[in-house]
A and B are shown apart, each in its own frame.
Chain A
Amino acid sequence: MSATNGLMTSSEYIKHHLQNLTYGQFPDGHWGIAHSAEQAKEMGFWALHLDTLGFSFILGSLFLAVFYLAGKNMTVNTPSGFQNFIESIIDFVNENIRGSFNGNNPLVAPLALTCFIWIILMNTMDLLPIDLLPKIASWIGVDYLKVVPTADPNATFGMSLGIFILMIYYSIKEKGAGGFASELAFHPFGKVMLPVNLLLEGVGLLAKPVSLALRLFGNMYAGELIFILIALFPYWIQWSLSLPWAIFHILIVLLQGFIFMTLVIVYMDMAHQKEH
C-alpha cells in the first residue's frame, strides 16, 4: 500500500493505477498483453481491457449465481434471513418500477435488478484496499490491474448503450417508427420549427445514454482517484483519510447503483409512453 515501494514516483504510481490490463494487437502484428501505457495506446480501438471484462464478468456471475440459488431455494413459508434479504431487494426494485414505469414489459424489472446489483457489486470493488489486488496480480506477473469496472468508461458505456438500444427498440415497437419520428420532429415547437425540434429532441435523446454512462463513470473514477491520492500519503496517516472517504464512498456506491436503476426505469417508461 505505498507509493514509495519500488522506484515509482507519485505520478508514475497514479498513472500505473489508472492503466487497464490491455490485450490487443501490437504494431508489429502479434497479439498480446500490453506492458506499458504506450503499448496499450498503440493497440488502438481493437483492444480489450481484460481486467474490466474479467471483474465485471465475475461480479455479474456472482450476482446471478446468488440470486439464482435464492430463487431455487425459495420457500413460500417463513423465509430465512438470506431469502428475506433477496426478497427485500426484489421488493425495492419492484416498488421503484411500480412508481415510475407505467407500461407492461416483463423485461424492465429484471433489467433494473441487473443494473442495480451489478453496478453496486462493481462499485464495491472500489472499497477494497487500492493496492491489494494489483499487488497480488503483480506477483503472478500481471503488470496492470484496474479492479473497478465502473471506473472504466467501456463498462458504463457498454451498459448505457445497451439501454439506449432498448429505448429505441421499444420506442419504435410501442409508438411505431412514424410515432417515434414525429415525437422527435414535431415536439416541442410544432411542425413549423422542425429542424429546431429535431436538434433539441435529438440532443435530448443522445444525452440520455451519455449522461447515464458518464455519471457513473465520473463518480467511480473520481472516487478511485482519491483513494489513489490518499495512498500516496505516509502509511501511518492514510487511515485518517481513507476511512472517512471509504465510509462516504459506501453511500456513493449504493447511490450510483440506485440512480442508474431509477433512470433505466424512467427511460424505459418514456420509451413505452404513447402520448408525449
Chain B
Amino acid sequence: MNINATLFGQMIMFAMFTWFCMKFVWPPIVAAMEERKKRIESGLIAAERGLSEHKEAQQKAQEMLNQSKDQASEIIANATKQASNIVEDAKGVASQEAQRIKTQAQTEIEQESQRVRNELKDQVSGLVMQGVRSVLGKEVDAKTHQGMLEKLSQTL
C-alpha cells in the first residue's frame, strides 16, 4: 500500500468526471431516450385509438346497414299494401261504374221502349182511324169522334 498525494489527484479527477458526466453526458442521452419512449407510447395509444375507432365505425356501418334493411323491407311492405289497396279501390270503383252504366242503360232502354210503345200507339190509332174511315166511307169527323178515338187508342 503506497498512499500518497495521488489520492487527491484521483479524488479531484473523479469529481471532475462525475460533474462533467452529470452536466453534459447524462442529460442528452436520457432526454433522447425519454423522448423516444414518449413517442412510442403516444404511437401505441394512437394505434389503439385507431383500432377502437375502426371498430366503432364498423359497428356503426353495421347498424346503418341493418337500419336501411329494415327501412327497405318496410317500404316494400308499404308499397305492397298500397298496391293492393289501389287494386281494391279500382275494383270497387270499376264495379260501381259498371253498376251505374248498367242502371243507366236499363233506364234508357225502358225510356226507349216506352217511347216506341207510345209511337206505336199513335201509329196504330192512326191506322185504326184510317181503317175505320175507309170502312165507313166517309170522313170521320175527328172532332165529333174524338172521345171515341181516344178510348180506342187507350185500349190499344
Contacts and interface: CB of A to CB of B under 8 A. Distances in A.
Given A67-B25, A71-B24, A113-B21, A154 B10 contact: yes
Interface stretch (B1-9, B58-66, B92-100): B1-9
Interface of A is mostly: helix
B10 to A, nearest CB: 3
Contacts of B9: 48, 53, 154, 158
Contacts, number: 131
B140 interface: no
Contacts of B22: 106-107, 110-111
Interface of B is mostly: helix
Categorize the interface residue count of chain B: 20 to 34
Contacts of A79: 36
Contacts of A53: 6, 9-10, 13
Contact of B10 (A64, A94, A158): A158
Interface in B102-144: none
Contact of A76 (B4, B27, B30, B32): B32
B29 A87 contact: yes
Contact of B1 (A22, A44, A153): A153
A271 interface: no
B6 A72 contact: no
Contact of B14 (A24, A107, A162): A162
B4 to A, nearest CB: 5
A259 interface: no
Contacts of A52: 6, 10
A109 interface: yes
Given A45-B3, A48-B6, A110-B21, 8 more contacts: A60-B17, A64-B25, A68-B24, A71-B25, A109-B26, A153-B1, A153-B3, A154-B6
B100 to A, nearest CB: 92
B73 to A, nearest CB: 55
Nearest to A90: B29
A158 B6 contact: yes
B26 A158 contact: no
A56 interface: yes
A76 B29 contact: no
Contacts of B36: 76-77, 79
Interface-centre pick from B18, B27, B30, B31 (highest chain A CB count, 10 A): B18
A126 to B, nearest CB: 17
Contacts of B11: 158-159, 161-162
Interface string B19-49: 0111011111111110110010000000000
Contacts of B2: 20, 49, 152-154
A227 interface: no
B29 A154 contact: no
A158 B29 contact: no
A75 interface: yes
A46 to B, nearest CB: 5
A75 B28 CA distance: 10
